[in-house]
Amino acid sequence: MRIFSGIQPTGRKHLGNYIGAIRQYVDGQDRGEAIYCVVDAHAITVAYEPDTLRSAVYDTAATLLAAGLDPGRCIFFRQSDVPEHTELCWLLSSVTSFGELNRMTQFKDKAGAQRDLVSAGLFMYPVLQAADVLVYRANEVPVGDDQRQHIELMRDVAVRFNARFGETLVVPEHRIPEVGARIMDLQVPENKMSTTGGTPQGTVLVLDEPKAVAKKIRSAVTDSGSDVRHAPDKPGISNLIEIYAVVRGVSFEEVEREFDGAGYGAFKGAVADAVVDYLAPVRERYTELRADEAGLEAAFSAGAEKAREIAVEVMHDVRQAMGVGPVRDRR
Ligand code: ATP
Ligand code: MG
């Protein structure tokens, strides 16, 4: 059983990323052969600064290691160090439908948010994401709920490839958590918490100081009622219940029972304390790991070497199946 997921080095990662994705990455190490990468080649599809990108890659890597990824128990690397990802992306573009890419909601949202250039790379983003997963023949992709459409597309691409060129690629399944797959912005609980699209006050960063975490949670937007109840017409309170349930490892019903009659103020205070406790150890380990850039580079290059062992073989099979390049035996 092979697990693959990637995470963007755009800005600093937030509580939504942590609960929806990173938490699952850590678990994946016990469930199969886990492969994770920091997707710098995806990050260049929107406006960015080269120097900031490089340091954001280190920030994200140190965050993941601080959260519990262990390069001894998973393959952990930087996407651009394994050129097979971008090579497969191009080959897969010939079995990806333009119309399907044009319907991707993430593309529409992000294209709309760009000030000047809407890059072709942003349009191709889901094809590179398909290549990331398919180049390892991964069985499972842990992601948040917003990635459902992209995973469907990569499955279609794999199926179409196999139908056209013969059984070569594995059609992967998504793994979306039942609780916490879509943590909402604390100020605009109709929108998902986001690295690039959210409000600063509504986005709890994994590396925020405890005081800042508590302040953001205590000032979360809620409805005018007072019942701590998970319900469709209570997006703000429901979001806080979801966060508390994950962080404390309890069910919604248990949260509702615990705070029956307590009022929003007391509930928000308890959520704030719980999240502060949850993130504090990560933040401490991060500081130590982030200081050692040479150590992070060493981890990346060891990881890329292991990743390439798999990717090179799959690329060989893909080229042979497609009739690209000379006939060759596997190494
Ligand atoms: P952007 O908004 O720029 O796309 P992002 O916040 O979605 O950034 P990514 O690096 O694209 O961050 O996502 C990393 C992982 O976190 C993905 O698996 C994604 O599904 C998950 N994720 C992102 N936002 C949330 C959220 N609000 N709740 C739960 N999971 C999330
Ligand atoms: Mg995203």
* Other beta carbons less than 10 A from residue 330's beta carbon: 8
Q: Which residues line ligand 1 (CB under 6 A)?
A: 7-8, 10, 16-17, 19-21, 143-144, 146-147, 181-183, 192-197
Minimum-distance ligand to the CA of 46? 1
Answer yes or no: is pLDDT of 331 > 70: no
State the distance from the centre of ligand 2 to the C-alpha of 321, rounded, in angstroms.
Answer: 32
Which of 146, 196, 238 for mutating ligand 1's site (highest number of atoms within 8 Å of CB)? 146
The pLDDT tens digits for 262-295 are 999 999 999 999 999 999 999 999 999 999 999 9
Using most ligand atoms within 8 A of CB, pick from 4, 12, 17 the residue to mutate for ligand 1. 17
**What average pLDDT does this structure show over 80-86?**
98
Residue 85: per-residue pLDDT: 98
pLDDT confidence band for 197 (50 / 70 / 90): confident
Q: How confident is the model at residue 216 (pLDDT cuts 50, 70, 90)?
A: very high
- Please name the residue whose Cα sits nearest to atom 11 of ligand 1: 8
Above 70 in pLDDT, residue 241?
yes
The burial of 32, by beta-carbon neighbours within 10 Å (0-12 exposed, 13-18 middle, 19 or more buried), is given as middle
Query: Whose atoms come closest to the Cα of 20: which ligand?
Result: 1
In angstroms, the CA 66 to CA 290 distance is: 9
Report pLDDT digits (tens) over 247-264. Answer: 999 999 999 999 999 999
Q: What is the mean pLDDT of residues 67-75?
A: 97
List of residues 6+ apart from 22 with CB closer than 8 A: 7, 13, 63, 64, 67
Higher pLDDT, 329 or 173: 173
Give the span between the Cα atoms of 7 and 142, in whole angstroms.
11
